[in-house]
Structure formats: C-alpha cells, structure tokens
C-alpha cells in the first residue's frame, strides 16, 4: 500500500491534542517527559515507535505507581489484592495488566491512568471488577455507581432533522464536528496488537469503507508510504494525526507505528475516518457553519452502513468499547467552534451554561489550550448512560443558550426589512435616504460582498440615526462595487464632484515637500499641526462585517509591519485590552488614544467586539502615531507642537511609503484609498492645525471665508464641538479628486489666508 487506496472519499479533521500532567505540550523525544521505552529516545521523530511496543515489567510499574505521587483513579482502585490477582493473568485476547497500567504508572499527572489492552479487559472475570470501579468513578463520580448504558439510539429521521442549523446567521458558529470511536470485535487494542493485527484491521477497514457511496465515497491514504510533504500538510490542515503524545505512547498507542494507520476522506472532506490512531476507528463528520442536523445525519448514515460490513465491540451496560475507558458508551463527541469573544471577557456565564448542560469548554487546539479570537470548542461531556441522540441534543441546547447570551453583547445589524421600513417612512435628509430608492433597495437587499458584507451592515446606523448627513458606511472594501448603485451617487453628492475620478496617489516631489513652510515660525498662533491618513487592509472587512479573528489578525499584521519602522518612526505598540485604566485615560486626555463613545459610529458596527484588536503605536517622541482598528483599520498620524507643516508631512509620507512595502492596502481606480466611511475616500488625508483666531472667528463671514478656501473649522475636540478660547481646528475639506500634496497645499494656503486676516484684525484692535 504505497499510494492512495481508492476505497470509497473524507473531511476537515481536528487533531487530538494531549498534554502532560503539568499541562505542557511535550515532544515525543523529551526524555524528561516520556519515560517508557527509554532506549527508544535515541531514535528520531516517530521512528522510535515503529517497533513492537513492550511494556516495562509489571512489578516495576506497580512499584513506580506506589512510590509516586499519582492521584489517578488507577492508583485509587488498583489495590494490592487486585494487583496480585491480575499481575500474572492474561485476558482471553492475550492482554496483560502491565499493558493496561503502563502509562498511568509512568505519568504521575494522569487523571485516569488506565487503558484497556483489548475489549476482553472490560468483560473477563477479575478484570471487569477493576475497570467497573474506574468507569463508574470517572463517568458518575461514584465508584459504587450503577449507571448502565442504554442500547444505541441515533434518533428517528424526524428527530435528526429537528437538530437543524445552530446558527443560520453564520455570526457565531465557525464549524461543527461530530465523531464516534469504534473497535473491531475480537481484536486487541494497540498495546496488545501485533504488526499483523494492525495490517488485518486496516484491510478490514478499507474493505468496509470502499463500499460507501454517494457523498460518503472517498479515498484512503495510508501513513506508510505517504511522502513527508503531504503528511505535514495534512497535519497542518488538521486532517491527520501523528505520534506526538508521550502519555499515549507509553500506553502502547503507537506500537508498530505507522503500520495499519491512515486516513480516509470523501471528496468534500466532510466525512473522515481515522484508522488505528488511538481507537481502531474514528468516524468524523464535520463542516463549516452550524448545520448540526446535516452533519449528524451524515455520520449516522456512515455508521449504519459500516455496521452492515463488520462487527464492532460492544457490551451490555457499557455500550461501544474503546481503548480508553473515558470514551465508553456512545463514544460520541459533538462539538462546535463557537465565537464568543464578549462572553469570554467574563467567562463565568459561559462556564455556568456549560455546567448546566454538562458541556466541556476548551480552546480550539485541544484540552488545556487557550481560546483565540474568543473562539471556544464546546462539546458534550457525557458519553455513558445516555443515547447518541440525547448526547447531541444536550450539546445543541447548551450551544443555543451560549449563542443567545453572546448575541446580547454582540453588535449585529437589525433585519433588512425592519431597516427599510424605518428609513423609507422617515423624513431623514441623509444622502443614503435620498439615493436608496425602492428600485435600488430591491436590487441590492439580498446581495452579499465577497467578504460576506450586506446592505444591512452598511445602512444600519443611518436608519437608526435619522439626522445623519451621509447615513451609510461600507461594510468592506468590496461594498463600493457590490452596492455601487447607492454608494456612487452618495459619494458624488457628498464630495461635490460630477464624476468619481480620483487621481493616482501623489505625495509630491522632494522639492515640493521641502517648499511646505512653517505656518507660524513666531509660535504665536499655531498650537499644533497634525496630518492623518486612513488605510484599510485589502483582505479584511470593515468593522461591521469583521469577526473577532479578523480584528486579531489585522492587529497582528499591522503590528508586524509597524515593528519594522526605524529611526524617528520606531516605537512601541500598546493594545487596549491590556492597557491599565490610568494610562488609557491619560492618553485620551493627551489626544493620543481613542474611545468607543460615539453612538452613530457604534450603531454602524464601528465598535464591534470592542476592544479586541485595538491599540495604538507611537514613536518615542509621540510625533508619529498609528491607531489600529479605531474606525478604519489604520489611522496613520504625524503631529507635533507648532506650525512646521513640512516636517510633519514629510514624516507621514516616509511612514506611508515604508508600510506600503509590508502591507497591501485597499484602493480602487477613481476612488483612491477605500475607507469605512465614504466621506474619507480618496486621499483619506486630513491636515489640520489648532490655531488661535479669536478675532477672525467672531466675524460674521468667518464660515464663508473658510468655505472659499475649502477649509473646515471646528472645535478642538472634534466635529460638532465648540471652540475654547478662540482656538479652532482648521483642516482641508476636500478628500476626493485631488492628490495628497494638493490637499496639504490647499490647507496651507487657506490657513495662511486666515492667519493674515487674524493679524490684520488684531492690529486694528
């Protein structure tokens, strides 16, 4: 079997990850962690397991267990009398006590500490008494428990169909997976198996799998003969398994590796079967999203078919028999990767729901791993004492409650019909209301962008805040194309252009940049100068359509690029999530940071999953800053005291040029750089000064004068704020239809004109 064996076709698999007693991941080659087969540690990688595994002498294992600090169920229930009764015995299939207790004796941190050497260990006299104590203690918490497993029941067709989709919105459930283990009747488990046993089981497995048809039909790939590149890729993609767990290794789980091992999967990789990974079979059904009914139905169909082709080991009262007694019964683990970043900030609610439904929460990379992006693996904890359908239903009910609680904390747009009803019947004067005609609405309402953005994402804020002037935000860069029937007229009306024809970005020649003068060399009027631009990652949505992982990944990409800046641009990144309150408040007061206090932006989804993926980067002198995921993906800011516009601009241009070597920004011919709000399209550039103009600002024609020079005056605390002490924020008004250099030059000319007028008025006083 040197290549793929065409059998019948499998799906995306999550690898089983185990840890040592102290919770650390260890290499199979670490002699300090893996004590069995000590001589094998001179071998490399998985080669040490290719030979027939042989346990240490039972006397040595017993001695190690007694002298060690193990708190395992094995140590609790393996009395000296029982040890003496079994130490020289063999099961009817030839298994030994040493094979069962090897791993638990060598790994003090094991909670259970015992594996079955073969199915007979659960039923043979004397053996079953020891295993029953451990089984009841583990599954019920009481060694004297009498829980008996019912007959298998996967549910009726109607019951299976009723499982449905856990998350039709696609907002919360990333993927769903249901797996079961099965063992060949009359065949030993790995520690007691010989090479010919593994080969026989593989042959039987392949013969059965080859009879699968329809969506279950697929291909078998044996580990032996699989080239390293393919094998590593399959592991990396979570399709395959490997011999990397010292606890399982010292239980004999990798004996004769990799003989008889392999993976079968269907064409769509939604059904997989692992052969001789830990159990003889692991049947797995999985796919993206939350359609539990579809996934479970596929698995049940496969199991029922395979049961017509071979006999699996099972026992009245214990259900299906497995290598590890923790998996007995249904052997079923139904799990979802669910996105709950808001609940994970205070995990008590999540833990309480899991406890209520007897579910197990853990990180997506296995037990003891951490959550990433607020995504947790949630699965049924109970295997014994209930039917398969009951186990799946328990997981379903718990996950639905988790989603319900997360939804209360997560921004989502209101339903499209509700938004349309509100805006269409309103007297809103927004540009969105003006151009989202019934015909345009009918054309766009069911469309989605390439990044899964919707019209609801775009108009939610404008429908809720009827006083908005623009009323629409882009859900992602592609929104400007997918929903151009509404965006294009809004853009033209807002930016006062007849056509959308933005020039190619031009920051000016060296000579032109040097010609940008100091607005106030006397330092009498200009308090500070600031220029910022917005940039968006081409491959990520804007906030309303982002997942928590998107925010984390954008942050990682941005920080990696920012960390390459050198000279005066070099600095440090401060994530909001780990910033103490005192530092954060001081940075806000100093105008270095941002906060989530704008209802209009909030209802646009701008603060979704706050404060995940948000933070600030600044250089040592705090003259160059980058806001990460404030409103736009990046806000690059150059600023300093006084009016030296040329220095501020050149610093910003240098930073932009350096970052564009590392990151790909979203832009479109004619539109320039793409941003969350269409009001910032084009250059995305805002050049401003805080300038004391107490005389000019009192003139009745002040605003008309600013309009003449395309200058926007506002208070120093942002749009709609009031001036303090005659100090105004003066900035360029135009973003679209001119180059970056032209925008800065326009601001400079306008501010110089205002300065001249202020000086003339002051002289008259």
55 is in an annotated binding site: no
DSSP one-letter string for 527-556: EEEEEEEEE-BTTS--GGG--HHHHHHHHH
3-state secondary structure of 451: coil
334 is in an annotated binding site: yes
DSSP character for 142?
Answer: -
Q: How far apart are the first and last CA of the chain?
A: 98
Residues involved in catalysis: 324, 677
Predicted pLDDT of residue 276: 97
Q: Where are the alpha helices (DSSP H) in 269-425?
A: 292-306, 348-356, 388-409, 416-424
Q: Where are the beta strands (DSSP E) in 204-312?
A: 218-222, 262-266, 271-275, 281-288
What is the tens place of the pLDDT at every residue in 521-538?
Answer: 999 999 999 999 999 999
577 is in an annotated binding site: no
Distance of CA 531 to the CA centre of its chain: 34
466 located within any domain: yes
Distance, CA of 685 to CA of 184 (rounded, Å): 69
Sorted by sequence, the CB contacts under 8 Å of residue 266 that are 6+ apart come out as 9, 10, 11, 212, 215, 216, 217, 218, 272
366 is in an annotated binding site: yes
**Nearest by Cα to 286 from 13, 43, 477:** 13
Predicted pLDDT of residue 42: 40
424 located within any domain: yes
695 is in an annotated binding site: no
Predicted pLDDT of residue 348: 86
Sorted by sequence, the CB contacts under 8 Å of residue 205 that are 6+ apart come out as 264, 273, 275, 280, 281
715 is in an annotated binding site: yes
Predicted pLDDT of residue 30: 27
What is the tens place of the pLDDT at every residue in 365-397?
Answer: 666 556 677 899 999 999 999 999 999 999 999
109 is in an annotated binding site: no
Predicted pLDDT of residue 721: 58
Distance, CA of 179 to CA of 477 (rounded, Å): 39
176 is in an annotated binding site: yes
467 located within any domain: yes
Tell me if 520 sits within 8 A of 685, measured CB to CB. no
458 located within any domain: yes
Residues of the chain short of pLDDT 70, as ranges, are 1-45, 365-371, 717-723
Predicted pLDDT of residue 593: 84
635 is in an annotated binding site: yes
425: containing domain = 416-495
529 is in an annotated binding site: yes
What is this structure's pTM? 0.84
User: Looking at the 3D structure of the chain, how many domains does it have?
Assistant: 1
364 is in an annotated binding site: yes
401 is in an annotated binding site: no
Distance, CA of 207 to CA of 544 (rounded, Å): 50
Instruction: Report the CATH number that the domain containing residue 459 is assigned in CATH.
Output: 1.10.135.10
3-state secondary structure of 68: coil
532 is in an annotated binding site: yes
Q: Where are the alpha helices (DSSP H) in 163-241?
A: 195-209, 228-236
108 located within any domain: no
Tokens of 506: 């031009």
Predicted pLDDT of residue 720: 54
DSSP one-letter string for 483-531: THHHHHHHHHHHHT-SS--BPPP----HHHHHT--BS-TT-SSEEEEEE
Q: What are phi and psi of 283, to 5 degrees?
A: -90, 130
Predicted pLDDT of residue 229: 85
690 is in an annotated binding site: yes
335 is in an annotated binding site: yes
465 located within any domain: yes
698 located within any domain: no
179 is in an annotated binding site: yes
Handedness of CA 311, 53, 117, 194 (dihedral sign): positive
369 is in an annotated binding site: no
- How many angstroms separate the Cα of 694 from the Cα of each of 342, 655, 708, 758? 47, 35, 20, 8
Burial (CB < 10 A; 0-12, 13-18, 19+), residue 360, is: middle
719 is in an annotated binding site: yes
343 located within any domain: no
Distance, CA of 349 to CA of 405 (rounded, Å): 8
Distance, CA of 328 to CA of 282 (rounded, Å): 13
């Amino acid at each position: 079997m040197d290549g793929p064996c065409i059998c019948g076709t499998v799906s995306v698999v999550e690898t089983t990850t185990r840890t040592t007693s102290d919770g650390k991941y260890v290499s199979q080659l670490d002699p300090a962690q893996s004590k069995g087969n000590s001589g094998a540690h001179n071998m490399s990688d998985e080669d040490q397991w290719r030979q027939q595994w042989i346990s240490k002498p039972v006397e040595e294992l017993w001695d190690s267990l007694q002298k060690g600090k193990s708190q395992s169920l094995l140590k609790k229930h393996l009395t000296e009398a029982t040890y003496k009764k079994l130490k020289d015995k063999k099961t009817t299939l030839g298994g030994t006590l040493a094979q069962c207790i090897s791993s638990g004796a060598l790994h003090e941190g094991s909670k259970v500490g015992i594996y079955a050497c073969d199915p007979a260990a659960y039923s043979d006299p004397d053996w079953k008494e020891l295993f029953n104590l451990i089984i009841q203690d583990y599954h019920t918490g009481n060694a004297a428990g009498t829980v008996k497993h019912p007959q298998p029941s996967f549910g009726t067709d109607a019951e299976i169909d009723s499982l449905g989709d856990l998350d039709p919105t696609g907002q919360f459930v990333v993927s769903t997976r249901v797996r079961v283990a099965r063992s060949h009747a009359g065949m030993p488990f790995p520690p007691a198996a010989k090479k010919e046993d593994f080969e026989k089981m593989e042959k039987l497995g392949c013969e059965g799998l080859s009879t699968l048809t329809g969506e279950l039909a697929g291909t078998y790939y044996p580990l032996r003969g699989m080239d390293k590149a393919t094998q590593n890729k399959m592991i990396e993609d979570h399709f395959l398994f490997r011999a990397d767990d010292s606890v399982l290794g010292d239980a004999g789980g990798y004996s004769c590796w990799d003989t008889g091992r392999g993976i079968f999967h269907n064409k769509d990789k939604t059904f997989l079967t692992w052969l001789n990974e830990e159990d003889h079979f692991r049947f797995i059904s999985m796919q993206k999203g939350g359609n539990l009914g579809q996934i479970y139905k596929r698995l049940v169909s496969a199991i029922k078919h395979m049961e017509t082709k071979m006999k699996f080991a099972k026992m009245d009262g214990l259900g299906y028999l497995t290598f590890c007694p923790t998996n007995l019964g249904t052997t079923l683990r139904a799990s979802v990767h669910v996105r709950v970043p808001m609940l994970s900030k205070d995990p008590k609610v999540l833990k309480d729901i899991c406890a209520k439904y007897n579910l197990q929460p853990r990180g997506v990379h296995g037990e003891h791993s951490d959550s990433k992006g607020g995504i947790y693996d949630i699965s049924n904890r109970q295997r014994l004492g209930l039917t398969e359908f009951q186990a799946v239903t328990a997981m379903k009910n718990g996950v639905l409650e988790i989603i319900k609680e997360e939804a209360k904390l997560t921004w989502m747009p209101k339903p499209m019909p509700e938004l349309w009803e509100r805006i269409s019947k309103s007297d809103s004067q927004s540009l969105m209301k003006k151009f989202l005609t019934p015909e345009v609405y009918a054309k766009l309402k069911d469309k989605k962008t390439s990044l899964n953005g919707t019209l609801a994402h775009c108009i939610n804020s404008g429908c809720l805040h009827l006083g908005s002037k623009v009323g629409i935000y882009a859900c992602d860069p592609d929104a400007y194309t997918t929903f151009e029937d509404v965006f294009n007229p809004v853009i033209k009306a807002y930016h006062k252009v007849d056509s959308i024809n933005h020039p190619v970005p031009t920051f000016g020649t060296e000579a032109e940049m040097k010609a940008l003068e100091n607005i106030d060399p006397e330092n009498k009027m200009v308090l500070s100068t600031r220029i910022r631009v917005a940039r968006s990652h081409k491959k990520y949505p804007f906030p309303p359509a982002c997942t928590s992982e998107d925010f984390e990944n954008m942050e990682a990409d941005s920080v990696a690029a920012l960390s390459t800046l050198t000279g005066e641009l070099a600095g440090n990144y401060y994530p909001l999530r780990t910033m103490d309150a005192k530092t954060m408040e001081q940075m806000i007061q100093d105008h270095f940071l941002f906060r989530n206090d704008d209802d209009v932006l909030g209802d646009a989804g701008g603060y979704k999953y706050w404060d995940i993926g948000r933070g600030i980067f600044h250089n040592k002198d705090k003259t160059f800053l980058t806001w990460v995921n404030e409103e736009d993906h990046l806000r690059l800011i150059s600023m300093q005291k006084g009016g030296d516009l040329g220095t501020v601009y050149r610093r910003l241009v240098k930073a932009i040029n350096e970052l564009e070597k590392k990151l790909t920004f979203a832009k479109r011919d004619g539109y320039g750089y793409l941003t969350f709000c269409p009001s910032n399209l084009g250059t995305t550039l805002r050049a401003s000064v805080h300038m004391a103009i107490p005389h000019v600002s009192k003139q009745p024609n002040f605003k008309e004068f600013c309009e003449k020079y395309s200058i926007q005056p506002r208070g120093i605390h942002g749009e709609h704020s009031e001036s303090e002490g005659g100090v105004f924020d003066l900035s360029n008004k135009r973003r679209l239809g001119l180059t970056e250099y032209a925008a800065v030059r326009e601001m400079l000319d306008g501010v110089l004109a205002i300065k001249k007028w202020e000086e003339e008025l002051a002289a008259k006083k």
